[in-house]
């Protein structure tokens, strides 16, 4: 039986611009490099432009966004309020 090689952990920074547009930075070889990128983004973009999140993944990952009206017809569950 052939064993699949274990994928190496990759580090990314996910920047969500204005709660609308995700941007992925990386991969970075270490957590420290990921942290440096997060700090660089905060310095360049400021606090109000979006959220910055760390991502650890084994291999590549993709992130996207839903188009403008895709979620417009979904009503929130009142029991969750």
Q: What is the pLDDT of residues 45-57, one digit of tens each?
A: 988 888 999 999 9
Evaluate if residue 6 carries a pLDDT over 80: no
Q: Is residue 75 part of a domain?
A: no
Could you tell me if residue 25 is inside a domain?
yes
Residue 74 inside a domain? The answer is: no
**For the ranges 11-15, 16-20, 46-50, 63-67, the one whose mean pLDDT is highest:** 11-15
Residue 71 falls within a domain, yes or no? Answer: no
* Total number of domains in the chain: 1
**Within a domain: residue 29?**
yes
Asked whether 58 and 15 are in contact (CB, 8 A), the reply is no
User: Does a structural domain hold residue 46?
Assistant: yes
For residue range 22-76, what is the model confidence (pLDDT) as tens digits?
Answer: 999 999 999 999 999 999 999 999 888 889 999 999 978 899 888 878 888 888 8
pTM of the model: 0.75
* Strand ranges for the chain from DSSP E: 9-17, 21-28, 50-58
Residue 73 lies in a domain: no
Does residue 15 sit within a domain? yes
User: Domain containing 48: what range?
Assistant: 9-60
């Amino acid at each position: 039986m052939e064993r699949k090689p274990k994928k190496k952990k990759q580090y990314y920074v996910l920047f969500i611009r204005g709660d609308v547009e995700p941007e992925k930075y990386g991969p970075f070889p270490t957590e420290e490099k990921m942290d440096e990128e997060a700090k660089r983004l905060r310095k360049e973009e400021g606090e109000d432009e979006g959220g910055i999140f760390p991502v650890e993944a084994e291999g590549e990952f993709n992130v996207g966004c839903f188009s403008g009206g895709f979620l417009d017809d979904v009503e929130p569950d009142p029991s969750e309020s």
